């Protein structure tokens, strides 16, 4: 007997439900409610629309699928497994267990087919915005008449939690003004969040809100009617073809649908159903298969390997034709989407660095950063940067960059005043491939973007954050704009390289290192004020990349004192060194632009730079506590830092007030002798 | 000759313009564009509506005025000065100078009449939401038939930047669902942000967006027509009376209005106009007064001292009548709005702490926190707490608390999934007075709220943050939900006390300390998992408040090893101590629940707790670097921490994987001998 399509769809949805129910039960931990509520929506998208090839999750022109409500991870794992990805049933049985491929929330790089790590609410939507932007720009750059080698959609599942988060506003507003028509979000409108019925705390007219952003909104879709969702998705694809802006599909659903006792309540959100309720749910849905036992005909309905391979083959044929007509473009496209730097880039980067050293310029490091961007942009057509409405303060644009607009594919993005949305979208751009991306704001406002920067680090994405106005040195704008704790606290994010260059040379070196770092994000913290050039020989020029090095040796080569400094304080340390040397205290200055890079060096390097038997003073215009790590082992040591909030005044007066002076360094060093 | 009202309004607006222009020019730094653009709006609100008394900025029933676009600070200073606040002209002349009362951005506590510190965009709106909520709840609690002792408005100026920020969504959505009808926002719709014409990056239909939140929206107001703004404000006040929700007034303006060359462009936003353009502006506006010279009749128009004193007197008469009819309520009201704790609270808090110690319970510290909240709530009717949609995970509610809803004045707030908005609104509640407030989320999501927590610290507000699920100990939810860097990086925010209690007793002590801390915010980081009770004598019970103390002395009183731990790691240290003692290594365990409190102790205390000549091991399931501060001076030392992201697995397996075990502590200690 052949089932009707509707009956078959119901079976498919129930298969997703029970894989989630049974995996959560096996783990005794997890979130069954969302998979049970979004099952039909998933069936509609994954069996009728999603363009992907489970046997090649790296196919550049695949659709991107993002689960912004990442706690529903079992839905995604069930879909990947049934569609034919390399995610065997055994992995589903080990949901949330140590070193399984099915962690509590979806993790990029761990599970084939997971496009981004989600869980922190709202960020998946912003990742998707970045992906859709990358797709649009890449299409504009590489497609040619008769050749649409870039042409895919970005699909997002999201819930009420994502929509309450502020980042949903930043992301959706930006997607609207940029008219990202191939972005389609499917909202799980179940009216339940963890605290219960959302009526008490979430009263938005969400469709009206999204229309206000310039989105198409498809309302009143029955999220448990696969055909209804299918029709809405068709309408969304038409919007994409007609380029009328992104689309939100509002799917009315019941959380935990199928559970007789818990459907429609918060109790089904984040806890196992338990044996009895699972039995009741099996009975209610007429599902008599044992846990993890999915009938063959259901597997066949999901299996996308054949159609996926055929679609990828067809694309490959298109691409081959493109490559014949546009061989250089095709080679460049392949390089770009595989995230490889141009051949010979390292040599070029070294040459650029030598050139900057020869210029010996005194510049604010934010200005030096702008110069570095301009130099790199000539060699890296993939450079795609911008600022959160501080372009002329952060200095992120460069000659000929061109602005990215709804109807214009440039290379510089005005993100608007949207730091968090920008950072999460940068993750999406980096994950998508095709661009090497950076974004900028004031260092103090890294706070606004912080969790997305953490996600860059967790996902090991090459994203560069230009964070200017890096200390009280910004002056009059006062304590709300003066970072104090930000440098050390960003350094504490694992896998994030934080650079604070002392001059134009170190700024270029920081940019070179950040661009060549394939496995993680970097912050480049830049000054508002001018920083004098520091002279170095060729060897020391190369040492910058080690993160900490001897910038100036004691005159006799036998230091009796080591001064460690970063950024604008290096010049102070150099001045203090001159006075100490004059006093007969042999003094070494160590510049430490990146503690993370320094930590990766061999112990022999670290001990050579910071000899264990010599007193040390660390100087940085920031919260001082973390520096004790680099003072441990010295016979005597001190930190000169700032452990209170700043003040509003001209920068020079603040330097005196906060003791960021050569005099204080000299006095401190003398006391330690 | 008497001027027409319209002519007089124009003069008043121009007075504000030139005070801003000339102060920025004198400082050679600042933002003239916004004051020039919002001058008429300010005249309408401040000379016709704002209820305040410049001679008593602490009058509890004054209107609250918030400049969310805080870079326009000179507008506010000009208004305060002209209205008669204690802000002499000399202070305006010292705009942005060291230790003036006119810093670059408005700072609470520094300048009379400044209700909150602004500058970080969007947060002023969220502060205002907190103030309006406090007003509404206080009115519900204290007003009585015939007595409206709490009855004031909250007014907010905001710009495009505030509206682009995600927090504006969280704040406005929450204000809508809570129907905060006395909140009125005036939008400076000048279509310019720092990067230029916003059309390229900000295309929202903002009126439609706010209607979607349930706000009243008054559109198409000419922001340079004082009467038009006045009429809109009257309409907004009617909405307040009719309780139809908050109101957004959309004022179409020209940034830098009056400057012939720069009006309507980004160039007037954040830089002095310069001598020539100032002369041209003076000519264009017909303003021939020298800098800082404001004619008497204009001063008289602004001077609110007489009317303000009369209004406050009338209120005082009302309050006196109230006090006669409801003497206990009146006394309680006065105590509450002056932010004093009940008489005898300290004695009570100590008794509670002893009681908790006697219970000797093994609990998760999040559960212990809930118990502490319940105990304190009985003594503190001002306790007003909530959670960002994690009430039953953070455990923030208590028996009889009641939910705060649009039509119900309870004491527990479901903030929705809005961590940043919550934190900034908590600042508003604390600033308003009348409530002692706390909010909660997972510790990892302190990232989302971080800059508002910084603002709590900068403004020295008593706000308590309950941050649960404080380490990899949360288990299966995985690295997106497991804090690693958060404890140390929150500790680096100046003036923020971070508590991480090791058992129910320290949890109560942390709560007591946080509630009694009148000059700053506190974080209480709590475990998901159970923590065993630690026994202490009465003296040690009192020592908890010192932030670091000897929990268990070496058996012979002569420690050969000191183990320092916090939170869940204290129990591990205690177990390690038992084994080390058995091995003949006399071991002291120091519990360090709050490093900031410990840092405030005398050196003698600190040295007594951490004797300089004894090796030390610090143990904390978090990024380890900052602990070196507490190891400096020891002959040998080590930190056991976690310097990479977590994993998804059951908590016990993670403890082994990440080496959070007594065995590792024992091994490390042995190696240091």
Residue of A nearest to B210 (CA): A209
Q: What is the mean pLDDT of residues B361-389?
A: 98
**pLDDT(A180) > 60:** yes
Q: Which residues in chain B have Cβ-Cβ distances shorter than 8 Å to A97? A: 649-650
Beta strands in B486-543 (DSSP E): 497-499, 522-526, 530-531
Using CA atoms in the order B144, B150, B152, B158, what is the torsion angle rounded to 10 degrees? -120
Alpha-carbon span A364 to A357, nearest angstrom: 15
A387 Cβ neighbours under 8 A, 6+ residues apart: A393, A394, A396, A397, A413, A414, A415, A439, A440, A441, A466, B195
Q: Which two structure tokens, joined as six digits, stand for A214?
A: 């310039």
* CA-to-CA separations, B11 to A201, B6, B78, B379, B645, in angstroms, rounded: 45, 9, 14, 54, 61
pLDDT digits (tens, 9 = 90+) for B203-248: 999 999 999 999 999 999 999 999 999 999 999 999 999 999 999 9
Average pLDDT, chain A: 97
State the pairing for strand pair B247-252/B363-364. Answer: unpaired
Q: What angle do CA B460, A568, A530 make, to 5 degrees?
A: 110
Q: Which two structure tokens, joined as six digits, stand for A482?
A: 């003066």
Alpha-carbon span A375 to A380, nearest angstrom: 9
Q: Which residue in the set B121, B170, B647 is minimally distant from A417, CB to CB?
A: B121
Cβ contact (<8 Å) for B478 and A105? yes
Q: What is the mean pLDDT of residues B535-542?
A: 93
| CB contact B599 to A (< 8 Å) | no
pLDDT at residue B3, rounded to an integer: 80
**Domain extents in chain A:** 5-308, 345-526, 545-672
| CB contact A657 to B (< 8 Å) | yes
Backbone region of residue B450 per phi and psi (left: phi > 0; alpha: psi in -120 to 50; beta: other values) = alpha
CB neighbours (10 Å) of residue B560?
17
Determine the distance in angstroms separating the CA of B183 from the nearest CA of chain A, rounded to an integer.
Answer: 17
With beta carbons less than 8 A apart as the criterion, state whether B504 and B365 touch.
Answer: yes
**pLDDT(B53) > 60:** yes
Best CA proximity match to B383, nearest among B465, B424, B438: B438
pLDDT digits (tens, 9 = 90+) for B128-146: 999 999 999 999 999 999 9
Cβ contact (<8 Å) for B195 and A387? yes
| CB contact A484 to B (< 8 Å) | yes
| CB contact A105 to B (< 8 Å) | yes
Q: What angle do CA A393, A397, A399 make, to 5 degrees?
A: 135
Best CA proximity match to B155, nearest among B135, B178, B177: B135
Q: Which of residues 342-361 of B touch A (CB under 8 A)?
A: none
Q: Which of residues 491-550 of B touch A (CB under 8 A)?
A: 491-495
Cβ contact (<8 Å) for A626 and B626? yes
| CB contact B98 to A (< 8 Å) | yes
pTM across the whole model? 0.98
pLDDT at residue B1, rounded to an integer: 56
Q: Which residues are A321's β-sheet partners? A: none
pLDDT digits (tens, 9 = 90+) for A615-634: 999 999 999 999 999 999 89
**pLDDT(B665) > 80:** yes
Same fold, B345-526 and B545-672: yes
Q: Tell me the CA end-to-end span of chain A in Å, nearest whole number.
A: 92
Best CA proximity match to B439, nearest among B460, B420, B458, B459: B420
Binding site members of B for substrate: 31, 269, 366, 393, 469, 477, 481, 528
Q: What is the mean pLDDT of residues B484-509?
A: 98
Q: Which residues in chain B have Cβ-Cβ distances shorter than 8 Å to A476? A: 27, 29-30, 96, 104
| CB contact B244 to A (< 8 Å) | no
Cβ contact (<8 Å) for A103 and B647? yes
Q: How confident is the model at residue A1 (pLDDT cuts 50, 70, 90)?
A: low
Active-site pick, A91, A107, A141, A419: A419
Q: Which two structure tokens, joined as six digits, stand for A337?
A: 């989407």
Q: Which residues in chain A have Cβ-Cβ distances shorter than 8 Å to B96? A: 476, 478, 648-650
Q: What is the mean pLDDT of residues A109-131?
A: 98
Binding site members of B for Mg(2+): 160, 190, 192
Q: What is the CA radius of gyration of chain B?
A: 28
Active-site pick, B141, B419, B569, B620: B419
Q: What is the mean pLDDT of residues B169-194?
A: 98
Q: In the block, which residue shows the tokens 């455990």? A: B395
Q: How confident is the model at residue B633 (pLDDT cuts 50, 70, 90)?
A: confident
Best CA proximity match to A12, nearest among A304, A253, A308: A304
pLDDT digits (tens, 9 = 90+) for B519-534: 999 999 999 999 999 9
Q: Give the DSSP letter of residue A403.
A: B
Coil vs helix vs strand at B125 = helix
Alpha-carbon span B365 to B506, nearest angstrom: 9
| CB contact A480 to B (< 8 Å) | yes
With beta carbons less than 8 A apart as the criterion, state whether B221 and B252 touch.
Answer: yes
**pLDDT(A3) > 90:** no
Q: Tell me the CA end-to-end span of chain B in Å, nearest whole number.
A: 92
In this structure, CATH architecture of domain A545-672: 3-Layer(aba) Sandwich (3.40)
pLDDT at residue A673, rounded to an integer: 85
Domain spanning B345-526: CATH superfamily: Thiamin diphosphate (ThDP)-binding fold, Pyr/PP domains (3.40.50.970)
CA B451 to chain CA centroid, Å, is: 9
Alpha-carbon span B555 to B578, nearest angstrom: 10
Catalytic site residue A476? no
Phi, psi of B650 (to 5 degrees): -55, 145
Alpha-carbon span A461 to A134, nearest angstrom: 15
Q: What is the mean pLDDT of residues B279-301?
A: 98
pLDDT at residue B673, rounded to an integer: 85
Coil vs helix vs strand at B640 = strand
H/E segment holding residue A12? helix A5-27
Cβ contact (<8 Å) for B451 and A458? no
Q: Give the DSSP letter of residue A427.
A: H
Coil vs helix vs strand at B98 = coil
Half-sphere exposure of A249 (CA within 13 A, CB side): 28
Determine the distance in angstroms separating the CA of A391 from the nearest CA of chain B, rounded to an integer.
Answer: 6
Alpha-carbon span B338 to B359, nearest angstrom: 35
Cβ contact (<8 Å) for A105 and B648? yes
Cβ contact (<8 Å) for A208 and B206? no
Alpha-carbon span A56 to A315, nearest angstrom: 13
**pLDDT(A577) > 90:** yes
CB neighbours (10 Å) of residue B426?
33
> In chain B, what percentage of residues exceed pLDDT 70?
100
* CA-to-CA separations, A67 to A108, A116, A216, B510, B511, in angstroms, rounded: 12, 8, 20, 38, 38
pLDDT digits (tens, 9 = 90+) for A639-665: 999 999 999 999 999 999 999 999 999
Q: Which residue in the set A418, A476, A494 is minimally distant from B165, CB to CB?
A: A418
Cβ contact (<8 Å) for A480 and B105? yes
Q: Which residues in chain A have Cβ-Cβ distances shorter than 8 Å to B198? A: 416
CA A34 to chain CA centroid, Å, is: 25
> Which residue of A478, A493, A523, A643 is the best one to mutate when testing the B interface, meaning the one whose CB has the most B CBs within 10 A?
A478
With beta carbons less than 8 A apart as the criterion, state whether B32 and B95 touch.
Answer: no
CB neighbours (10 Å) of residue B381?
15
Q: Which two structure tokens, joined as six digits, stand for B655?
A: 């403890």
Cβ contact (<8 Å) for B451 and A447? yes
With beta carbons less than 8 A apart as the criterion, state whether A658 and A644 touch.
Answer: no
Q: Looking at chain A, how many residues does it have?
A: 673
Q: Which residues in chain B have Cβ-Cβ distances shorter than 8 Å to A27? A: 476
Q: Which residue in the set A202, A485, A654 is minimally distant from B493, CB to CB?
A: A485
Q: Which residue in the set A100, A447, A657 is minimally distant from B454, CB to CB?
A: A447
With beta carbons less than 8 A apart as the criterion, state whether B552 and B495 touch.
Answer: no
Best CA proximity match to B44, nearest among B188, B256, B239, B231: B231
Q: What is the mean pLDDT of residues A103-109?
A: 98
The verdict on domain A5-308 having CATH code 3.40.1190.20 is: no
Determine the distance in angstroms separating the CA of A187 from the nearest CA of chain B, rounded to an integer.
Answer: 16
Determine the distance in angstroms separating the CA of A506 from the nearest CA of chain B, rounded to an integer.
Answer: 24
Using CA atoms in the order B260, B262, B268, B271, what is the torsion angle rounded to 10 degrees? -90
Coil vs helix vs strand at B433 = coil
| CB contact A33 to B (< 8 Å) | no
Q: How confident is the model at residue B184 (pLDDT cuts 50, 70, 90)?
A: very high
Alpha-carbon span A12 to A39, nearest angstrom: 8
Alpha-carbon span A619 to A617, nearest angstrom: 6
Task: Flag whether A152 is marked binding.
Answer: no
Task: Flag whether A71 is marked binding.
Answer: yes
């Amino acid at each position: 007997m052949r089932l009707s399509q509707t009956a078959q769809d119901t079976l498919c949805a129930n298969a997703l439900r029970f894989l989630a129910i049974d995996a959560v039960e096996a783990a005794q931990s997890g979130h069954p409610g969302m998979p049970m509520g979004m099952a039909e929506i998933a069936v509609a998208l994954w069996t009728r629309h999603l363009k992907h090839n489970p046997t090649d999750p790296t196919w550049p022109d695949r659709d991107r699928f993002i689960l912004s409500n990442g706690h529903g991870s079992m839905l995604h794992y069930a879909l990947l497994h049934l569609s034919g990805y390399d995610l065997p049933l055994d992995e589903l049985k080990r949901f949330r267990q140590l070193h399984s491929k099915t962690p509590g929330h979806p993790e990029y790089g761990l599970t084939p087919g997971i496009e981004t790590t989600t869980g922190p609410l709202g960020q998946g939507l912003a990742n998707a915005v970045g992906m859709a932007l990358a797709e649009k720009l890449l299409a504009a750059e590489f497609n040619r008449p008769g050749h649409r080698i870039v042409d895919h959609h970005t699909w997002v599942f999201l819930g009420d939690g994502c929509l309450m988060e502020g980042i949903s506003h930043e992301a959706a507003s930006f997607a609207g003004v940029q008219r990202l028509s191939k972005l389609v979000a499917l909202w799980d409108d179940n009216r339940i969040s963890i605290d219960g019925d959302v009526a008490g705390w979430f009263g938005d007219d969400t469709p009206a809100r999204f229309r206000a952003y310039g989105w198409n909104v498809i309302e009143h879709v029955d999220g448990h009617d696969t055909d209804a969702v299918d029709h809405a998705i068709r309408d969304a694809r038409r919007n994409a073809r007609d380029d009328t802006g992104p689309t939100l599909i509002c799917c009315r659903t019941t959380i935990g649908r199928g559970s007789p006792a818990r459907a429609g309540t918060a109790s089904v959100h984040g806890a196992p159903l338990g044996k009895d309720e699972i039995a009741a749910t099996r009975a209610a849905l007429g599902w008599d298969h044992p846990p993890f036992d999915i009938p063959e005909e259901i597997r066949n309905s999901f299996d996308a390997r054949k159609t996926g391979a055929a679609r990828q083959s067809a694309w490959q044929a298109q691409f081959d034709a493109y490559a014949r007509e546009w061989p250089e473009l095709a080679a460049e496209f392949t390089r770009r989407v595989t995230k490889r730097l141009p051949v010979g880039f390292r040599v070029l980067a070294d040459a650029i660095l030598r050139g900057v050293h020869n210029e010996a310029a005194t510049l604010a490091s934010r200005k030096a950063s702008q110069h570095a961007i301009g130099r790199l942009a000539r060699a890296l057509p993939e450079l795609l940067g911008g600022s959160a409405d501080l372009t002329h303060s952060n200095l992120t644009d460069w000659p000929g960059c061109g602005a990215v607009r709804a109807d214009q594919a440039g290379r510089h993005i005005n993100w608007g005043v949207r730091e968090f949305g920008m950072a999460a979208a940068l993750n999406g751009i980096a994950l998508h491939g095709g661009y090497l991306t950076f974004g900028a704001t004031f260092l103090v406002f890294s706070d606004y973007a912080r969790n997305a920067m953490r996600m860059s680090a967790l996902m090991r994405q090459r994203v560069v954050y230009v964070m200017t106005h890096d200390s009280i040195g910004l002056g009059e704008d006062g304590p709300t704009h003066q970072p104090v704790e930000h440098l050390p606290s960003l350094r504490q994010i694992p896998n994030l390289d934080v650079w604070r260059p002392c001059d134009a040379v170190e700024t270029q070196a920081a940019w070179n290192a950040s661009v060549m770092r394939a496995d993680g994000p970097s912050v480049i913290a830049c000054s508002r004020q001018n920083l004098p050039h520091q002279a170095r020989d060729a060897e020391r020029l190369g040492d910058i990349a080690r993160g900490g090095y001897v910038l100036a040796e004691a005159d006799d080569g036998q230091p009796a004192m080591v001064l460690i400094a970063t950024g604008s304080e290096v010049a102070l340390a150099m001045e203090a060194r001159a006075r100490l040397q004059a006093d007969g205290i042999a003094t070494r200055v160590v510049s430490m632009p990146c503690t993370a890079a320094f930590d990766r060096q061999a112990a022999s390097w670290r001990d050579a730079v910071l000899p264990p038997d010599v007193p040390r003073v660390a100087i940085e215009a920031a919260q001082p506590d973390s520096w004790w790590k680099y003072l441990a082992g010295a016979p005597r040591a001190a930190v000169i830092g700032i452990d209170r909030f700043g003040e509003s005044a001209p920068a020079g007066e603040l330097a005196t007030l906060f003791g960021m002076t050569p005099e204080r360094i000299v006095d401190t060093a003398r006391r330690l002798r």
